């Protein structure tokens, strides 16, 4: 978008070296991860278990086996006269998308990632690099767009928003270009790029189906108990705000790119809805972490190895409309005496209906929105009190204080 592009540069020190990360704005895993209920659907992580036997990566519930891709399948253009916007977007973003192989002593998996910097920082999902919460010591390898395979180092992961940053030593890397996810529209064309079912450099097309959707997935935090994976359903769930898309994404797309018509990153693919009954795969309901959230968390992980998250300091529950099962806000049951909400003037009995300009329809929405903000962020919160809307400016605390 000529004339409206802006670039934000973040510099950080790691050891004796200084790095620059630019965000450009223009205008697996344990076999059979459990399904989280969302109405009649479940939410499944996208990383793919890869018990490799003779080149086979698992099998579908219909008995169809998928053969491991032995080499990348870069975007092929045989006739330049017949290319379309999908070809253009895929050609622009494709070289910035990689495939991950993750291995531990007891399990292995695969996923996708997007290149952040020329010097090798790559963004992916936390549940990919931790094998779904099984370990934080897995060995990592990355297959680049040109087929080169290199070892990777885990820089840090964030189980609150299911993101991780890894580092490779390689030349000629092409960083992904970030779009501003706040400018997205429902119905906008998108392309998903990744390695579904182990098939590298796969391109699928769709639209933005919904924005500001809140979903709940299992935490990928590594358990302190040996052999215990949070993907078995033992761990707590996390609430995250996502972009919903009907572009076909499947296990193996985890950490891959959701891009706009110009090949700019608008989201990091993280989960899909499933129809239940053990059936996994695309049913046209996929989810991606917005690029703005991903950029903020990635920058913090590169700078310090961890990401911060806001803390409101309030216990909330759904506030239901009279005689219905529809939640219309987050009811504040209790505020922490020395917490951010209390300091701003929010009280028990208030119903939060808007946070940082986003509508709040329930407690999960509020949790996801608060955690998407960094610690110390100043945001406006609108509450319903005695039939009147009231606006408060809140300086968020640090979620790390809960630990």
The residues annotated with a catalytic role in the active site are 127, 162, 254
Two tokens at 36?
């989280």
Cα 369 to Cα 356: distance, rounded to the nearest angstrom: 8
SS3 318: strand
CA 33 to chain CA mean position, Å: 17
DSSP 8-state code for residue 235: S
DSSP 8-state code for residue 82: G
Two tokens at 212?
């500001």
At residue 74, φ and ψ (nearest 5 deg) are -60, 165
Cα 281 to Cα 42: distance, rounded to the nearest angstrom: 11
Two tokens at 289?
């972490």
Cα 214 to Cα 211: distance, rounded to the nearest angstrom: 9
Query: Over the range 282-313, which residues count as b (16 or more CB within 10 Å of their CB) and which as e?
Result: beebbbbbbbbbbbbbbbbbbbeeebbbbbbb
Pairing type for strands 202-218 and 189-194 reads antiparallel
Identify which of 3, 14, 31 has the alpha carbon closest to the alpha carbon of residue 299: 14
């Amino acid at each position: 978008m000529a004339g409206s592009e802006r670039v934000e540069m973040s510099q950080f020190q790691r050891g004796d070296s200084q790095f620059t990360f630019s965000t450009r704005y223009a205008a697996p895993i344990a076999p059979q991860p459990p399904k989280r209920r969302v109405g009649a659907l479940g939410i499944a992580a996208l990383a793919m278990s890869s018990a490799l036997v003779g080149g086979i990566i698992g099998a579908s519930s219909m008995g169809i086996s998928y053969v491991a891709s032995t080499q990348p399948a870069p975007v092929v253009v045989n006739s330049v006269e017949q290319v379309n916007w999908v070809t253009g977007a895929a050609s622009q973003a494709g070289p910035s998308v990689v495939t991950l192989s993750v291995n531990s002593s007891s399990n292995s998996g695969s996923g996708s990632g997007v290149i952040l910097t020329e010097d090798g920082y790559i963004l992916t999902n936390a549940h990919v690099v931790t094998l779904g919460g099984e370990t934080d010591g897995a060995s990592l390898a990355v297959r680049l767009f040109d087929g080169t395979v290199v070892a990777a180092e885990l820089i840090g992961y964030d189980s609150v928003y299911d993101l991780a940053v890894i580092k490779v030593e390689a030349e000629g890397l092409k960083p992904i270009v970030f779009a501003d996810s706040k400018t997205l529209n429902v119905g906008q064309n998108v392309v998903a790029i990744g390695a579904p079912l182990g098939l590298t450099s796969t391109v699928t097309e769709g639209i933005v189906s919904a924005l500001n959707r809140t979903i709940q997935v299992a935490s990928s935090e590594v358990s302190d108990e040996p052999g215990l994976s949070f993907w078995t359903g033992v761990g707590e769930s996390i609430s995250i705000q996502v972009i919903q898309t009907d572009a076909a994404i499947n296990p193996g797309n985890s950490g891959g790119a959701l891009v706009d018509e110009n090949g700019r990153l608008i989201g990091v693919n993280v989960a899909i809805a499933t129809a239940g009954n053990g059936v996994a795969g695309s049913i046209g309901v996929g989810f991606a972490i917005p690029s703005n959230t991903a950029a903020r968390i990635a920058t913090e992980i590169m700078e310090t190895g961890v990401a911060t998250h806001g803390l409101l300091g309030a216990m909330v529950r759904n506030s239901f409309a009279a005689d219905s099962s529809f939640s219309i806000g987050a009811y504040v049951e209790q505020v922490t005496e020395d917490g951010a909400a209390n300091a701003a003037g929010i009280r028990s009995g208030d119903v939060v209906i808007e946070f940082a300009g986003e509508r709040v329809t329930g407690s999960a929405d509020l949790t996801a929105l608060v955690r998407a903000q960094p610690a110390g962020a100043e945001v406006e919160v609108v509450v319903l009190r005695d039939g009147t809307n009231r606006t408060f400016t809140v300086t968020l605390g640090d979620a790390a204080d809960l630990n």
